[in-house]
Amino acid sequence: MSLLANGVLFLTVDSVRAAFDSGVFEMFEGSLEMEAVELLLNVDSLFFVAQAILYGFSLFGAIQMWNLRKTGFHIYTLAQISLLIVFNFFMSSLPFPVFPALISLIFILLYLRNLQFLR
């Protein structure tokens, strides 16, 4: 889903920025975290491309593991670590994403535990 969402965001971020600047989102001010929306709209468009590509690699690695390929684990692990690095590179003003890092770590450790069954 993140692969698709980041791809769509990359393709539409300029239109969303124009709509935000024209005041279309003013009616949602009570229900949206406007600071988060502004932060997302001010990030470089390459962030969404990088995220989409890395989520694609992550999905590819998971499919390879599903097919019992050991290289899938390495692709998945590198993609997950790279996602954290890309986030910190483009969103350096935000704190380190601890919860997503923990989730990634848990999945990597669970996959590592079953690495012996992969070829």
From first to last of the 119 residues of the chain, give the pLDDT tens digit.
999 999 998 998 888 888 878 877 777 776 667 777 777 888 888 999 999 999 999 999 999 999 999 999 999 999 999 999 999 999 888 889 999 999 999 999 999 999 999 88
Query: Smallest Cα–Cα separation from 71: which of 54, 81, 57?
Result: 57
CB atoms within 10 A of CB 34: 13
pLDDT given at position 32: 67
pLDDT given at position 33: 72
pLDDT given at position 57: 97
Q: For the chain, which residues make up each domain, given as ranges?
A: 2-117
pTM beyond 0.85: the answer is no
pLDDT given at position 108: 95
Buried b (16+ CB within 10 A) or exposed e, 62-81: bebbeeeeeebbebbbebbe
Amino acid at 68: L
**Tokens standing for residue 66:** 């599903």
56 and 83 Cβ atoms separated by less than 8 Å: no
H or E segment at 17?
A: helix 2-22
